Amino acid sequence: MALSVGIVGLPNSGKTTLFKALTRTGASVPGRENVGMATIPDERLVPVAAVENAKKITPAALRVIGVPGTGAQLLGNLRQVDALLVVLDTWSGARNPDDDLITLQLELLIADRDHVERRLERVRKQAKSGDPQQRAEVVQLEAVLAHLEAERPLSEWPGELPSGLEPLTTKPLIEVRNGPGGLDAKLEAELAELPEEEAAAFREGAAGAVGEIARRLFEAVDLISFFTAAENETRAWPLRRGQTALDAAATIHTDIARGFIRCEVIRWNDLTEAGSRAEVVKRGQQRLEGKNYVVEDGDVLNIRFNV
Ligand SMILES: Nc1nc2c(ncn2[C@@H]2O[C@H](COP(=O)(O)OP(=O)(O)OP(=O)(O)O)[C@@H](O)[C@H]2O)c(=O)[nH]1
Ligand SMILES: [Mg+2]
């Protein structure tokens, strides 16, 4: 599954505007769930691709999901995202963004409470057959529900949560202060309609909406990027920090993970400084690693595998 974020926020805070800014699509349908892709800029990609003579550059992609409102049912569509972007109105001068954040966190809490309540109801019925595992889950869910009813998010839940619960209140929240002092979604949505170079010239080197959100997302979810350079395509991939070469292989394709033999690893800047793979090898800067190698940010991986 691609990395994904959900956009939430109070009415009129600028959710749809941010969606447009991130996905560069004007085609968001009001009143409906909208899904689009944002490409994550990475300034290391172009120099790596140049060394590899890559014909194609593919940046890492981020799935963006916008829901039209904050009801429990709508928020429920965001149970599988990796993080939530909370849009706060700082542009109109009519709102207090700190209060709005608290209101929104409460909405997420209520959505989780409803969700746990429904699951509890279902498991209670099933547990009537006397299955000990289901009876244990009933006890566990009752405690989780009490925790939520005390208005505490599940990020503060001390124990383990029932498997597959997919709560909202454990997700990293990324505050997007929408307005001239923060991330100006309206301006960014307008820039998103311009050709890339024109928008970049206007920003005078500043990161832009997607760059800024990506940076904060990588920090919040603790992600790194690795690169591959195969079949004339240089590509960036997100990975959780601490994940291994085998996880990286699985990110690319399950077949590559299944047939994993070993992995050649080069630091991206060793590659660009050397100017070619052959030179990197000559300098002794290419390493051979196994499945359990912990991938680092900026690694260029060449995974050898059997099919
Ligand atoms: N001046 C200004 N206007 C903004 C900004 N962000 C959003 N708006 C305006 O505010 C209105 C609402 O923005 P939307 O992006 O539709 O807000 P939303 O959160 O999707 O609204 P709902 O889906 O109706 O809850 C639009 O008219 C936007 O043009 C901003 O940063 N500055
Ligand atoms: Mg909207």
pTM: 0.90
Nearest atom of ligand 1 to the alpha carbon of 12: 21
Question: Residue 27's pLDDT band (boundaries 50, 70, 90)?
Answer: low
Ligand 1 contacts CB of residue 9 (under 6 A): yes
| pLDDT for the residue numbered 190 | 92
Mean pLDDT of 61-75: 84
Q: Is the pLDDT of residue 266 over 70?
A: yes
DSSP state of 112: H
Nearest atom of ligand 1 to the alpha carbon of 90: 31
Nearest to 175 by CA among 98, 115, 243: 98
| Of 15-29, 43-57, 249-263, the least confident | 15-29
The ligand that comes nearest to the alpha carbon of residue 95 is 1
Task: Name, in order, each residue with C-beta under 8 angstroms of 179's C-beta and a sequence gap of 6 or more.
Answer: 89, 90, 91, 92
Ligand 1 contacts CB of residue 112 (under 6 A): no
Ligand 1 contacts CB of residue 76 (under 6 A): no
- Residue owning the nearest CA to atom 6 of ligand 1: 14
The ligand that comes nearest to the alpha carbon of residue 20 is 1
| pLDDT for the residue numbered 221 | 92
Asked: is 242-305 a CATH 3.10.20.30 domain? The reply is yes
- Residue owning the nearest CA to atom 1 of ligand 1: 91
Ligand 1 contacts CB of residue 68 (under 6 A): yes
Ligand 1 contacts CB of residue 14 (under 6 A): yes
Backbone torsions φ then ψ of 84, nearest 5 degrees: -115, 135
